[in-house]
Structure 1
């Protein structure tokens, strides 16, 4: 997909010199992986940039992405996996930034049925996950690389922890937001197997309108996040406090700090993300989840729109 040349925007109200705030709808809800948004809100960076943001929450990033594709949302926050599906199905969107990378993906085990010390120990076990998602992609990668087979059981994300606690399955590969609940629920029977090789990327995607006709608004949005990104790096403790406050105490500062040990926070946009999306697209086709043609790296990069981030943080963009 090729985007048109950005058009200049001007928004003035009747009084001379008084600027009218640009409105945009952002699909985002408080979470521990995107402190740049919390800091931009807390420190008033969006308002300073002349933006009036309507925040809307969806249960999943996929739903937010679909709302953006349907014209209900201007910018959405999500894990990277829906972008692979969007590229396969020829949707029009642009990946505009990568906010953070989660490096602690894991298999969670109920050790009452035996410990799991290596991927080989998963052979023949009953493993719960949510099929057709990035955690399914991660689990399949583990099993394939280990050359083993296991029985996969599909379940909705909230049902996985109860399933492994009851012993309906031996292990689960849930979304990271359920790790804490699994540890608490399983107690002494909690075990985990961390297998490197996959990072969850928490990205921002924007509509074609934001990338073209409203490019200056998108640049203002990314400029506010760039200021917040610098604040997060300069004072992580303040950022953790802001995230905990925005989550209304659902996670304590201590819990967030512990989770951040597995999170690489910082705005970026690079070829590594595009390569991961290509690999996920290939996997989706192999699973028969979506029918279509394979997406090359060159084609995938057509779905990247780096201009706004490059304007705010030139060094953050590492694309050909």
Structure 2
């Protein structure tokens, strides 16, 4: 079987001798057709991804076609095109029993804790397959990054009529912006890259752009009638940005970290208390978040086709990966095809 292995930090190896997956009880064999490239993959390749060990087959933004499956309550059959929910939860811990499967105590994520889908076939629990209805293979693979954004929005409590700031116009931040706009909220996008801000306005329908290097606090006060936003979502995964974000939240507001950094974040407690801020983390997504994104895509509120800026085939991926890391490549979302 063909696939790509991240054998160590900085090294991807294309192989044609990977073992075939074995279908376990309650699982299905899925032929992978599309793989979205995520920041997690890039960070793992660079050697700065938490929860990660090598060697590892990357890939958790996935869609494909069922090749083998048994009787199942979902009614899935051979030949069905599916998206995959890559967060394998235990179903028995306190978080799972309370419906928070996204932060299961024994969480295993495909492509992070377990080998992922950057290969021709994979065995996946049937419970984590999502039948594609009205979606293309490209769209189905990209439900996952927008579901992360949808979950962050749910955590934030953002609702129509409330203005929000989303820091970081990378793939996850753009997904947060797009889902917020689809729900009727006004969003300011903030980034260090003017081209990404332009994309945020055109694709994610952010109504205001803030260049992080040009007095962002002043720009936000001008935009929001002298008040800082009551909801700020940081999707950068950058320690400096995540620390500075505290200073951009209005009194009584909420700061949500959807980006993850491998380090410690500190803040001034008197200031934190004076503004009675709420600090929240947001991890992964639930099946309901996937459904919310699928509905937004099928109703044309979010255009996932325009989200894709780069693509290649599996056998060419190792030679493309380093180029995708360079800012001048202007990658928003890259996708790998297996036909």
Give the TM-score of the pair, scaled to structure 2. Answer: 0.29
TM-score by length of 1: 0.30
Identify, as 1 or 2, the structure richer in strand.
2
- Larger proportion of helix: 1
Q: Which has the higher contact order (CA 8 A, sep 6+)?
A: 1
